[in-house]
């Protein structure tokens, strides 16, 4: 996940009646436009995600991040003055 594309679109109100809603095999609720059957929305109730499917415009910002070096966990904990008393085991 080191590449991403960023773009903006206008916020609009969608008419829920303009779509055919159905459950897919993955138990996600999906919506397809009645006009041309294009996929527009996916709701993943088990992951609490709602996705609006957008066409990516020509004018966009594409980024690629360089893989950062792996952190030394001990150094990070020492830098933040970690104390084991911050953690309480509630259930084993």
| 25-82 pLDDT per residue, tens | 999 999 999 999 999 999 998 888 999 999 899 999 999 999 989 999 999 999 999 9
Task: Determine, yes or no, domain membership for 45.
Answer: yes
Rounded CA separation 31/40 (Å): 6
Task: Determine, yes or no, domain membership for 63.
Answer: yes
Task: Determine, yes or no, domain membership for 72.
Answer: yes
Rounded CA separation 22/50 (Å): 14
Residue 75 has which token pair?
Answer: 């150094």
pLDDT reported for residue 1: 84
Task: Determine, yes or no, domain membership for 24.
Answer: yes
pLDDT reported for residue 73: 95
Task: Determine, yes or no, domain membership for 20.
Answer: yes
pTM, full prediction: 0.60
Query: Domain range holding 22?
Result: 3-86
Residue 73: in which H helix or E strand, if any?
Answer: helix 73-79
Task: Determine, yes or no, domain membership for 91.
Answer: no
Residue 30 has which token pair?
Answer: 């999906």
Q: What is the three-class DSSP state of 85?
A: helix
Rounded CA separation 52/70 (Å): 34
Task: Determine, yes or no, domain membership for 92.
Answer: no
Are 2 and 63 spatial neighbours (Cβ–Cβ below 8 Å)?
no
- The number of distinct structural domains making up the chain is 1
């Amino acid at each position: 996940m080191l590449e991403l594309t960023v773009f903006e679109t206008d916020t609009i109100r969608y008419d829920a009646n303009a779509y055919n809603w159905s459950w897919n095999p993955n138990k996600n609720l999906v919506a397809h436009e009645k006009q041309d059957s294009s996929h527009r929305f996916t709701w993943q109730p088990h992951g609490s995600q709602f996705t609006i499917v957008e066409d990516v415009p020509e004018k966009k910002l594409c980024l690629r991040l360089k893989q950062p070096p792996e952190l030394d966990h001990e150094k990070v904990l020492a830098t933040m003055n970690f104390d084991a008393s911050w953690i309480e085991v509630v259930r084993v």
